[in-house]
């Protein structure tokens, strides 16, 4: 019976099995290269796909406003709907560019999309929600119901 792993070193001393655990396996070696050899900036942007657009949510006395930075889109690219008190905002775009000359033909295409969802508070008047898109900013206005706008103040006399 032959042994594939040597059991003695050059000096003839027996090598224990625990010494073999000190050698890195291929998986841990590769992970170490990715984790330590490349900067975290490189790895955070590598093959991560489309990111979600930045969102600000403001709460005023009369309404909530969702402000979303989505430059480069058209109004027709957006799909905004409400289902079961969940507001969904999504967009998808496709681009295609083809250039031909005597020496080459070049065709480039791309596809990008995102979807963001938000739970709408029960105090929002669903029938009056409006959206507008201007200079790369999508604003969605969610008016509060009339009864929630006015806060009734009750004065209590001390007797």
Topology annotation, domain 55-149: Immunoglobulin-like (2.60.40)
> Has this prediction a pTM greater than 0.75?
no
* Confidence band of 119 (pLDDT split at 50, 70, 90): very high
| Helix or strand (DSSP H, E) at 30 | helix 26-32
- Sorted by where each begins, the domain ranges of the chain are 55-149
Query: pLDDT tens, 4-19?
Result: 444 555 566 655 555 4
Q: Is residue 97 pLDDT above 90, yes or no?
A: no
Q: Is residue 120 within 8 Å of 82, Cβ to Cβ?
A: yes
Closest to 80 measured CA to CA, from 130, 5, 30: 130
């Amino acid at each position: 019976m032959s042994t594939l792993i040597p059991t003695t070193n050059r000096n003839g001393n027996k090598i224990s099995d625990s010494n073999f655990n000190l050698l890195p396996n291929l998986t841990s070696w590769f992970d170490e290269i990715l984790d330590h050899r490349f900067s975290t900036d490189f790895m955070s942007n590598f093959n991560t796909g489309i990111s979600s657009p930045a969102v600000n949510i403001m709460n005023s006395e009369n309404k909530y406003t969702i402000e979303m930075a989505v430059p480069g889109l058209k109004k027709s690219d957006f799909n905004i709907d409400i289902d079961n008190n969940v507001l969904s905002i999504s967009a998808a775009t496709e681009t295609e560019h083809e250039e031909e000359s005597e020496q080459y033909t070049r065709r480039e295409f791309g596809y990008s999309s995102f979807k963001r969802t938000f739970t709408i508070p029960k105090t929002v008047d669903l029938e009056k929600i409006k959206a507008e898109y201007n200079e790369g900013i999508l604003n969605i206005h969610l008016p509060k119901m009339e009864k929630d706008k006015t806060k009734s103040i009750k004065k209590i006399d001390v007797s």
